[in-house]
Amino acid sequence: MTALLSVEAVSKRFRGLLAVDNVSFRVARGSIFAVIGPNGAGKTTLFNIIAGVFAPDRGSIAFAGERIDGLAPDEICRRGVGRTFQLVRPFPALTVVDNVIIGAMLRRNDPSAARRHAHEVLARLDLFGKRHQLASALTLPDRKRLEVARALATDPKLLLLDEVMAGLRPAETDRLVSVLIELNRESGLTILLIEHVMRAVMALAARVLVLHHGAPIAEGTPDAVVREPAVVQSYLGAEAVD
Amino acid sequence: MTDRLLDGVPRRGLALLAVVLAVLLAAPWVANDYLLTILIIVLYSAYTGQAWNVMMGFAGQLSLGHAIYVGLGAYAAAALYVHFGIGPWLGLAAAVAIAVACGAVIGFLAFRFGVGGVYFAILTIAFAEFARIGFDHFQWVGASSGFFLPVANYTRNDLWTLRGNPTMFYYVMLALTVAAFALCHVLLNSRIGYYWRAIREDEIAARSVGINTFRYKMYAVVLSAGMTAVAGVFFAFYYNNLFPEQVFHISRSIELILGPIIGGIGTLFGPLIGALLLTSLSETMQQLLAALGLDAPGAKQVFYGLCLLVVVMVLPGGVWPWLAGKLGLARRGS
């Protein structure tokens, strides 16, 4: 398997804080990869660097064989990277379907084609019945799903999910997990997720990277990573592994 | 194109639109000169409000200096006519080009250097003020003592040189308003309209779905400026006199945006409803005051202020969204 995304020795400093400290990893094409770690470990900063919100101070990022570090967020999206935001940012005064049509318009000039695609994506994420509601009227779990739908509508090769499971009930988590697995299997969508909900990480990810104070402390399969003493001590707590 | 023009418009809305258009087309036969003058002002406000709405209502970029585009358009076409005998339709091309260039400069400075929100609005005021002061000293177009077009005798209408009676100006303004409405409707249902609304709602999220926000904001400013300049050309040839202190004054910019705010920002009908309400109500009020023998200078401004206050408190989304709901015209999806 070739790497779709490769992050090489990336660092980012904010004033005195080294938010991301020499992080390297590769995400294989068609795989699901998770980044975990305690709050403040630099996960979202790492995401924002990949998505083009920040340029890294050092290191490089390649997507599909081309350097993307330092490109603008919209350019990175056009190359095939979709993302969600940890603090959700739907277009509040627009309807659910219009939110997703805007994503679909990236690769479809015709509004009716974009609408059809948006309908398909909404159906997949169980939001079709709510498509005429305003995004601002949705519950938080629905808004999280809407973020996933909007990103998916851009037909990404790589989907970056920033804590989309947070605040979801276990049944909702399982449902979203199965939707993501479906997408991954059917269309070969590569997924990179930041997640606190270990139930989702264990069910989804083939590989896991653990960050602590911005630095990688472990990488491997989920089963192996959760047994590493450094991970247990810094993040999971002893009771999480049984 | 016709598909897009009719895309997602409810039947009832189309019927209503047809009735309104028929009434407007027939108006000159029944209206006296006074009423026709009022209707021209209504259409003029509706058109300029629509142009401003492209920038603020669709793309979320607040301009408080739109008088600059009216003024540049008016002066450009008037100067070409007076000094070189170039007719208004050719002058229109120059007027639009100049306003578009000016909008592009303002947009580029603001968007390239991340000037947003309130600061962007202040920048637009600053440019309008530069223009006002600049034209006050611009001798070639009369400076502060004003610039005058030769006044026509109203014996015959000449559409080519825009010399004629109010009925001709009425139809010209009606055509412009209908064209602006149709254009905005088509744009709103195209990619550009969706992208503008995305930028208005959340620029960071817009970039995350691949929207080049700089480019689409520039489109909005440039289009809005160009459309507004067309109204400026009309203004020059209709009123035949231009004074920098009037044309570029900030109160002109404010008047221009009241219609769409009261009618409903970001809606297609908002600028039309707002213009109709504001102009007709303020005229009625002035007639009433005159009939009562009261002389109250500034009553119009006070009245505008009250209208704004009422709308902001009772219908913050504007009159149109509320009216559309009442008429059962709320936009249905598919």
Q: Can you tell me the distance from the alpha carbon of A56 to that of A10, in angstroms, rounded to the nearest whole number?
A: 6
What average pLDDT does range B121-129 have in this prediction?
A: 96
Residues 69-98 of A with CB under 8 A from B: 72-74, 77-78, 82-83, 85, 89-95, 97-98
- Output the pLDDT for position B6: 65
Per-residue pLDDT, B332:
47
Nearest to A77 among B190, B202, B210 (CB): B210
Residues in B whose CB is inside 8 Å of some CB of A read 4, 7, 189-191, 194-195, 197-198, 201-202, 204-213, 333-334
pLDDT of residue B7: 61
Q: Is B235 inside a domain boundary?
A: yes
Residue pair A45/A12 in contact by the 8 Å Cβ criterion: yes
Q: Are strands A17-28 and A32-36 parallel, antiparallel or unpaired?
A: unpaired
- Domain for residue B328, yes or no? no
Task: Give the mean pLDDT of A17-21.
Answer: 92
User: Secondary structure of chain B in the HEC alphabet?
Assistant: CHHHHHCCCCHHHHHHHHHHHHHHHHHHHHCCHHHHHHHHHHHHHHHHHHHHHHHHHHCCCCCCCCHHHHHHHHHHHHHHHHHHCCCHHHHHHHHHHHHHHHHHHHHHHHHHCCCCHHHHHHHHHHHHHHHHHHHHCCHHHCHHHCEECCCCCCCCCECCCCECCHHHHHHHHHHHHHHHHHHHHHHHCCHHHHHHHHHHHCHHHHHHCCCCHHHHHHHHHHHHHHHHHHHHHHHHHHHCEECHHHHCCHHHHHHHHHHHHHHCCCCCCHHHHHHHHHHHHHHHHHHHHHHCCCCCCCHHHHHHHHHHHHHHHHCCCCHHHHHHHHHCCCCCCC
Contact B205 A115 (CB under 8 A): no
Rg (chain B; Cα; Å):
20
d(CA B170, CA B27): 9
Q: Give the ipTM of the model, two decimals please.
A: 0.92
Q: Considering the domain boundaries, does residue B219 fall inside one?
A: yes
Higher-pLDDT residue of B155, A135? A135
Q: Is the pLDDT of residue B152 over 70?
A: no
**Most confident of the following: A83-92, B297-306, B320-329:** A83-92
> Residue B106 belongs to a domain with what CATH number?
1.10.3470
Number of separate domains in chain B: 1
Q: Is residue B260 part of a domain?
A: no
Residue B192 has pLDDT above 80, yes or no: yes
Listed in order, strand segments (DSSP E) in A15-151 are 17-28, 32-36, 58-63, 66-67, 81-83
Q: Which two tokens stand for residue A56?
A: 């890294």
Query: Residue B164 has what pLDDT?
Result: 80
Q: Please list every residue in chain B whose beta carbon sits closer than 8 Å to the beta carbon of residue A109.
A: 191
Per-residue pLDDT of A31-56, as tens digits, reads 999 999 888 889 999 999 999 999 99
Cβ separation A151–B195 shorter than 8 A: no
In a domain, B323, yes or no: no
Residues of B in contact with A48 (CB under 8 A): none
Closest by Cβ to B209, choosing from A97, A98, A154? A154
What is the pTM (predicted TM-score) of this model? 0.92
> Is A132 in the B-facing interface, judged by CB distances under 8 Å?
yes
The answer to whether A105 contacts B194, with C-beta atoms less than 8 Å apart, is yes
Residue B187 has pLDDT above 60, yes or no: yes
**pLDDT tier at B282 (50, 70, 90 boundaries)?**
confident
For helices B250-263 and B270-291, the axis angle rounded to 10 degrees is 110
Mean pLDDT along residues A147-172: 94
What single-letter DSSP state applies at residue A28?
E
**How would DSSP label each residue in A164-206?**
-STT--HHHHHHHHHHHHHHHHHH--EEEEE-S-HHHHHHH-S
Q: Is residue A241 over pLDDT 60?
A: no
Residue B257 one-letter amino acid: I
Tell me which of A98-107, B129-138, B160-169, B276-285 is least confident. B160-169
Residues A226-234: what's their mean pLDDT?
A: 84
In a domain, B254, yes or no: no
Choice between B295 and B250, residue whose per-residue pLDDT is larger: B250
Domain extent, residue B154, equals: 2-249
β partners of residue A191: A32, A159
Report the residue from B202, B208, B333 with minimal CB separation from A51.
B208
pLDDT of residue B311: 86
> Is A105 within 8 Å of B194 (Cβ atoms)?
yes
Q: Check CB contact under 8 Å for A105 and B195.
A: yes
Note whether residue B322 is domain-resident.
no
Taking contacts as CB-CB distances below 8 angstroms, the residues of chain A near B197 are 91, 94, 98, 102
Q: What is the pLDDT of residue B96?
A: 98
Comparing CA positions, the residue from A115, A118, A175 lying closest to residue A141 is: A175
Residues A55-69: tens digit of each pLDDT? 999 999 999 999 999
pLDDT of residue B5 exceeding 70: no
pLDDT of residue B294: 79
- Selecting from A85, A92, A102 the residue whose C-beta is nearest the C-beta of B195 gives A102
Q: What share of chain A is helix, strand, coil (3-state, %, to 5)?
A: 40, 25, 35
The pLDDT value recorded for residue A242 is 43
Whether residue B218 is contained in a domain is answered as yes
Residue B154 has pLDDT above 70, yes or no: no
Q: Is A73 helix (H, G, I), strand (E, B) or coil?
A: helix
pLDDT band of B235, cuts 50, 70, 90: very high
Is 80 exceeded by the pLDDT of residue B2?
no
Which among B189, B207, B333 has the least Cβ separation from residue A73? B207
